[in-house]
Chains A and B, each alone.
Chain A
Amino acid sequence: DVKVTQSSRYLVKRTGEKVFLECVQDMDHENMFWYRQDPGLGLRLIYFSYDVKMKEKGDIPEGYSVSREKKERFSLILESASTNQTSMYLCASSPPGGAYEQYFGPGTRLTVT
């Protein structure tokens, strides 16, 4: 059974803290993605990675960075968390090519106070 796991389901951080969100997939997928989900806005792509150490900006990369040192792991980093980054964060993975669906993790609900 395919699996994408995220390190935390709920996270509360203070403004200015550095925050790491971890995502691990066990399907040997090349592509990995980080989305942000907000009510009424749907899912918006923050970053994606198509290979180890490779990354591409999505639609809303400002305030975020990513790291992919191993194929199975994709980390989202908030260098200095702000209250407007309070949101649900979803990680996904997929094989290369558009003919494949993305598999999603359960999400991390981050609150920045």
Chain B
Amino acid sequence: AQSVTQPDIHITVSEGASLELRCNYSYGATPYLFWYVQSPGQGLQLLLKYFSGDTLVQGIKGFEAEFKRSQSSFNLRKPSVHWSDAAEYFCAVGNQAGTALIFGKGTTLSVSS
């Protein structure tokens, strides 16, 4: 069965510091992988996605993620965090039919000054 694990429930990072949010997935075929961000009281916004090709994908707001098949991981990174990045981040894996996304339980990012 498909599953997604985000090991960190809550992370605090200093403004200007680098960020890495971890995501591990379980999926029998080639996964379709997504990172979404949710600001307080808002819906989810897509940061980036991976389907095939280059394993390092660039997204919006300066985020990037690297797909590592051998580690079943799709970690999200940002070189320098801004206070406005404080939000909840969700990793998700989708099937080829596009009929569902399986979400991780989310990682809450706090940014300290």
A-to-B contact residues, CB < 8 Å: 4, 31, 33, 40-45, 48, 50, 56, 58, 90, 92, 94-107
- How many residues on B have C-beta within 8 angstroms of the other chain's C-beta atoms? 25
B100 touches A58 (CB 8 A): yes
Are the CB atoms of A56 and B99 closer together than 8 Å? yes
**With A4-B43, A101-B34, A101-B49 in contact, is A42–B96 under 8 Å at CB?**
no
Residue among A40, A58, A98 having the largest count of chain B Cβ atoms under 10 Å:
A98
Q: Which of A58, A97, A101, A103 is within 8 Å of B96, CB to CB?
A: A97
Identify the B interface with A (CB < 8 A): 9, 32, 34, 36, 41-46, 49, 51, 90, 94-101, 103-106
> Which of A48, A50, A99 is the one whose CB lies under 8 Å from B51?
A99
29 contacts between A and B (CB under 8 A): A4-B43, A40-B105, A42-B103, A42-B105, A42-B106, A43-B44, A43-B90, A43-B101, A43-B103, A44-B103, A48-B99, A48-B100, A50-B99, A90-B43, A92-B44, A95-B98, A97-B96, A98-B32, A98-B51, A98-B98, A99-B32, A99-B51, A102-B101, A103-B46, A104-B36, A104-B44, A104-B45, A106-B41, A107-B42
A40-B105, A106-B43 given; 7 more Cβ-contact pairs under 8 Å: A31-B98, A41-B105, A45-B100, A50-B99, A90-B44, A101-B46, A104-B43
The 8 Å CB contact of A100, one of B36, B41, B98, B104, is: B98
State A92–B96 Cα separation when bound (angstroms). 17
Most interface-central of B45, B98, B101 (chain A CB within 10 A): B98
User: In whole angstroms, what is the CA distance A96 to B41 when docked?
Assistant: 28
